[in-house]
Amino acid sequence: MEVNFKIRSATVADVLEIFNLILALAEYEKLSEQVTGNVESLQADLFGDRPCIEVIIAETEELQKIVGYALFFTNYSTFLTQRGIYLEDIFVLPEYRGLGIGKSLLNSLIRVAKDRGCGRFEWSVLDWNEPAIAFYQRMGAEVLPEWRICRISL
């Protein structure tokens, strides 16, 4: 299957579809029970008075259907004394995988990071998600085995 798609910044009109993709990602990761957020909070964090996240989306040109997204935010490296970009989520609907959409989303974020003078572009991947790990490594990412995520849920 060949699909023409474009990568663009999300708009307010996309928020519901983005949230639906977040739900699809949670289902894929077998973490649906952990989704407690809602569309209103997502919209406020993207487009409210104090936006703290950004989203780029992959949209089919024929149907103008959103088939993937990448949600990211600015972080900071004290060792580099530079900003970075942290990729919280990247997801492409299963029926649209293998078409270069995920690669295009990542390459778009690499360009954003370079344009903004960032020192790093980082993200996490679940250790069981071997297809994603292999994809990231093909893209040139180094998977850091010595680092573990620490979390306190509030």
* Domains held by the chain: number: 1
What's the whole-model pTM score?
0.92
| Within a domain: 122 | yes
Band (pLDDT 50/70/90 cuts) for residue 102 is very high
Q: How far is 7 from 56, CA to CA, in rounded Å? A: 7
The model's pLDDT over 53-77, given as tens digits with 9 standing for 90+, comes to 999 999 999 889 999 999 999 999 9
Give mean pLDDT, residues 119-143. Answer: 92
Domain-embedded: residue 61: yes
Identify whether the C-beta of residue 85 lies closer than 8 Å to the C-beta of residue 72.
yes
What domain range is 9 assigned to?
5-138
Residue 127 lies in a domain: yes
Q: Give the closest residue to 92 by CA, choosing from 77, 104, 81, 109.
A: 104
| Active site (annotated) includes residue 69 | no
Residue 33, domain member (yes or no): yes
β-pair partners for 57: 8, 69
110 is a domain residue: yes
Alpha-carbon distance 107 to 150, whole Å? 28
**Residue 52 covered by a domain:** yes
Compute the mean pLDDT over every residue in the chain, rounded to the nearest whole number: 94
How far apart CA 34 and CA 117 sit, in angstroms, is 34
Provide the residue count of the chain: 154
pLDDT tens digits for range 6-56:
999 999 999 999 999 999 999 999 999 999 999 999 999 999 999 999 999
CATH of the domain at 104: 3.40.630.30
Q: Is 90 inside any structural domain?
A: yes
Q: Which of 28, 69, 96, 136 is catalytic?
A: 136
Q: Which residues neighbour 117 within 8 Å (Cβ) at sequence distance 6 or greater?
A: 82, 83
- Residue 144 domain-assigned (yes or no): no
